[in-house]
Amino acid sequence: MNVKVAAVVLTVGMLAYRMHGGTLPEVEPKDGWDTLPPPVAAVGDWPWWRGPALDNIAPDNQSPPTVWGERSNLIWRVTLQGLGHSTPVIVGDRIYVTAGEKTKDRAQLWLYGLERATGKTVWQTEIYAGPVGRLHPDNAPAAATPACDGERLFVPYQVGAGVEMAAVSMNGDILWRKTVAPYNTIQGYSASPALYKSAVIVPVEGPKGCYLTAFHRATGDIVWRRTIRANNESYAPALVRTVAGREQLLLIGGLSTRGYDPNNGALLWNCEGPARTCVATPVADESTVYATGGYPGRKTLAIRADGQGDVTQTHVTWTGDAKAGYVPSPLLHQGLLYAVSDQGLFRCYDAKDGQVVWQYDFKTPFYSSPTLANGHLYLFDRKGGGFVIPASRSFGGVVTNTLPSGVFATPVILKSRLYLRTLGDFYCFGTP
């Protein structure tokens, strides 16, 4: 096993923050910044949060097991140093996953490279070791899912007074490290980055400032940076999708849902809601963005994404009630929106008008988001329960499985295998 350790330094971004009186300067994009091939998910890979198509839907022709356990359909199980709520990233014959540990005043974060076939550790790189920022008791230093462009892995993480990001080679070597923005919240950082053209885009929204920053994937140079709002909090990741005929970077939280131009960070439109604080990732179809959150109030919004400026009064097609989820992200498939709340109420909505088609109450808490494969939804609760439900307009019953540890991370399903990070071990299930 190859173990690598990286030094922690005060980076240029934090120096700029101090020099500008506690705010980061905006950066305008320069001509010619797009110099790299666009990131593409190869067949059989899951290279970033929400999977190859950014929708948490496994590719076709999958036959993952519907029954699993410590002695049932188990391909391998490994124990990693540290805890993590991030989703595994799978590229080629390797799995990449973060894990971390925290004490009262110190945090450590590692990135693992594992053999896909066996789960064996090939290398372990220390990404960060130092002061820990404030974290919710259920959060962990390894909360944000990395993104991979086929040559580099991008890992955002919280330091004592900010958010940094490291670019790591496929062999575990740190290529560059940059400060993203100052940061300090009561929950802790969790937002995964988005890849777009030659850039990796990272959102930071907290009481020390709210920024969107795009870094060049190869060099780490800032492509552009935008100050997007002030003194609001969001824990949701950035998501770049083509909606309403244009590429948009979608963000929710801080009292609004927003669409930005991923080429330069310019605001395209904003809509009030769904809540002051959000964690879940928005989903989208060809014309509409669906956002769910959060705290202190909860609701679901369906917003037409073809507007300009404030579209609160003109582009909301339907609004859900206060039983919406906060942490788990919804899933959209064939005109149906599936969403589970933190308390375990699972609903199937008609995406056209927001009518509840059916619902089922698991009566158990959730953080993990549903994944769809082979016409079935796979869900995991915080106590170790795993559930399989047909994705259909008619409720088709629930298959229940149990593991000894709870699940906060979202499962990945590829080539008929189910990869699952629990609060104990890391599992791979499949038909032997």
Residue 9 above 60 pLDDT?
A: no
165-218 residue pLDDT tens: 999 999 999 999 999 999 988 888 999 999 999 999 999 998 888 999 999 999
Eight-state DSSP code of residue 172: S
Which residue is associated with the tokens 């994937």? 217
Per-residue pLDDT at 255: 86
pTM above 0.85, yes or no: yes
Mean pLDDT of 14-31: 74
User: What gap in Å lies between CA 423 and CA 332, rounded to an integer?
Assistant: 27
Model pLDDT, residue 208: 86
Q: Which residues are within 8 A (CB) of 143 and not within 5 positions of it... i.e. 6 or more apart?
A: 84, 85, 86, 188, 189, 190
Note the pLDDT of residue 18. Answer: 54
Contact 139, 81 (CB under 8 A): no
Predicted confidence (pLDDT) per residue in 393-428, tens digit = 999 999 999 999 999 999 999 999 999 999 999 999
Average pLDDT over residues 246-260: 93
Q: Are 289 and 303 in contact (CB under 8 A)?
A: yes
CA trace torsion 301, 302, 307, 309 (10° rounding): 0
Predicted confidence (pLDDT) at residue 126 exceeds the cutoff of 60: yes
In a domain, 265, yes or no: no
Is 168 part of a structural domain of the chain? Answer: yes
Q: Is residue 129, in this structure, part of any structural domain at all?
A: yes
DSSP notation for 279-303 = -SPPEE-SSEEEEEE-BSS-EEEEE
Which range (98-102, 233-237, 349-353, 419-423) has the least confidence? 233-237
Mean pLDDT of all residues in 157-162: 91
What was the pLDDT predicted at 230? 58
The answer to whether residue 394 sits within a structural domain is: no
Question: Residue 10: which pLDDT band, with cuts at 50, 70 and 90?
Answer: very low
Indicate the pLDDT class of residue 16, thresholds 50, 70 and 90.
low
Query: What DSSP letter does each residue of 85-96 carry, written as one string?
Result: -SPPEEETTEEE
In a domain, 322, yes or no: no
pLDDT digits (tens, 9 = 90+) for 260-280: 999 999 999 999 999 888 899
Q: What is the pLDDT of residue 59?
A: 92
Residue 161 within any structural domain of the chain: yes
Please give the residue that has the higher pLDDT: either 374 or 160. Answer: 374
Question: Which CATH number goes with the domain that contains 138?
Answer: 2.40.128.630
Q: Judge whether residue 310 has pLDDT over 90.
A: yes
> Does 166 reside within a domain?
yes
Q: Please name the helix (run of DSSP H) or strand (run of DSSP E) that holds residue 101, with its range, or none.
A: strand 94-102
**Residue 17: pLDDT above 70?**
no
- Model confidence at 19, pLDDT cuts 50, 70, 90, reads very low
Residue 212 structural domain = 1-31+73-228
Pairing of strands 316-319, 331-333: unpaired
Residue 53 lies in a domain: no
How confident is the model over 35-39, as a mean pLDDT? 96
Q: How many domains does the chain have?
A: 1
Q: What is the pLDDT of residues 72-112, one digit of tens each?
A: 999 999 999 998 999 999 999 999 999 999 888 899 999 99
pLDDT score, position 77: 97
